[in-house]
Amino acid sequence: MTWLRWLDPIDAKIVWERAANTRWKPICYRFCMAARSTAWRHWVAGLALIAARLNGKPRLHTGSHVRRYAERVRADAERKY
């Protein structure tokens, strides 16, 4: 997939693992992440970057605004349930 090349290598692997329906626990173990939320943030940052590029926006930086976006998406998801 060409869009995986837009991501950092770890983010690309996490996005690919989730696309293959791999559970979070094996992903955290494979990438040496102590918390599931860390892996989730990498996954959301990767998806946000892919969505931005597909929508024709310039490359997002993986800085604090991506983390804030990930937190906002998580808060919205929690409100729905």
Q: Convert the pLDDT of each residue in 20-65 to its tens digit.
A: 999 999 999 998 888 898 899 889 988 888 888 888 776 555 555 6
C-alpha–C-alpha distance, residues 68 and 37, integer Å:
13
Q: What is the DSSP string of 4-27?
A: GGGS-HHHHHHHHHHHTT--HHHH
- Is the pTM for the entire model greater than 0.75? no
